[in-house]
């Protein structure tokens, strides 16, 4: 995978994910810092005209779903599920939000666009290298498994109860639906609660990554 965002390249370098770097020769303090990190880590740098700075990184290594489940149990934390989310910018933004609020991990579907590509890496500002990410075949079955382990399952949707009035306990699984299809019915059926974020404006919904941030922030407050 090729990435060009400087912050993402730096994060990937620090996590040992960069295979090689291409550089046109242009210099600024940020580029100089990245090249110095590459030198110290022994990452080869190749000259390539017309390419300010880019890096080839090893593919994102997805972890086993059970690893994230056990991590959430140990930390008494939460897991973010992205259901039918296909826009790479939204995937990246949600991963960044999940990492910021201390989520145990993020779960993507094996189908329906559930992968981390360059756009998500860039939007995540490198968060994809700091939080475990798993891919599962069947969301409903995965959430059912978590509930047996004591998780509370929560879906965020417009037809839900007021988020501020729902007693959500940790550990929890939070499901955010996609841009067009939202949360699939089998997944929503498995959830203990369906919540909505109350607003005061004429617009009745939020961008899904913003909604994810509000729900995860609400849960993160229980940890402190």
Task: Read off the pLDDT of residues 140-172 as tens digits, 9 standing for 90 and up.
Answer: 999 999 999 999 999 998 887 888 888 889 999
- Segments forming the whole domain that contains residue 119: 65-223
Q: What is the pLDDT of residues 61-72, one digit of tens each?
A: 899 999 999 999
State whether 71 and 44 are in the same domain. no
CATH of the domain at 77: 3.40.1280.10
pTM here is 0.84
State whether 17 and 90 are in the same domain. no
Q: In what order do the strands lie in the sheet with 133-136?
A: 133-136, 105-109, 78-83, 172-177, 152-162, 193-196
CA-nearest of 76, 90, 13 to 45 is 13
Token readout for 123 is 């939007």
């Amino acid at each position: 995978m090729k990435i060009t965002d400087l912050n993402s390249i730096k994060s990937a370098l620090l996590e040992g994910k960069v295979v090689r770097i291409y550089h046109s020769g242009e210099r600024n303090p940020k580029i100089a810092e990245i090249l110095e990190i590459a030198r110290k880590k022994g990452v080869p740098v190749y000259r390539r005209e017309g390419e300010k700075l880019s890096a080839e990184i090893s593919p994102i290594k997805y972890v086993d779903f059970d690893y994230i489940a056990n991590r959430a149990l140990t930390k008494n934390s939460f897991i973010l599920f992205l259901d039918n989310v296909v826009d790479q910018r939204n995937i990246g933004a949600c991963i960044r939000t999940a990492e910021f609020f201390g989520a145990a991990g993020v779960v993507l579907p094996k189908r329906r666009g559930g992968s981390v590509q360059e756009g998500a890496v860039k939007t995540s500002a490198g968060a994809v290298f700091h939080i475990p990410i798993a891919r599962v075949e069947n969301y409903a079955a995965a959430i059912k498994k978590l509930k047996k382990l004591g998780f509370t399952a929560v879906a965020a949707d417009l037809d839900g109860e007021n988020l501020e009035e729902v007693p959500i306990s940790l550990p929890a699984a939070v499901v955010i639906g996609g841009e067009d299809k939202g949360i699939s019915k089998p997944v929503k059926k498995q959830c203990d609660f369906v919540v909505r974020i109350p607003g005061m404006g004429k617009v009745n919904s939020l961008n899904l990554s913003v909604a994810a941030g509000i729900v995860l922030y609400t849960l993160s407050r229980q940890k402190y």
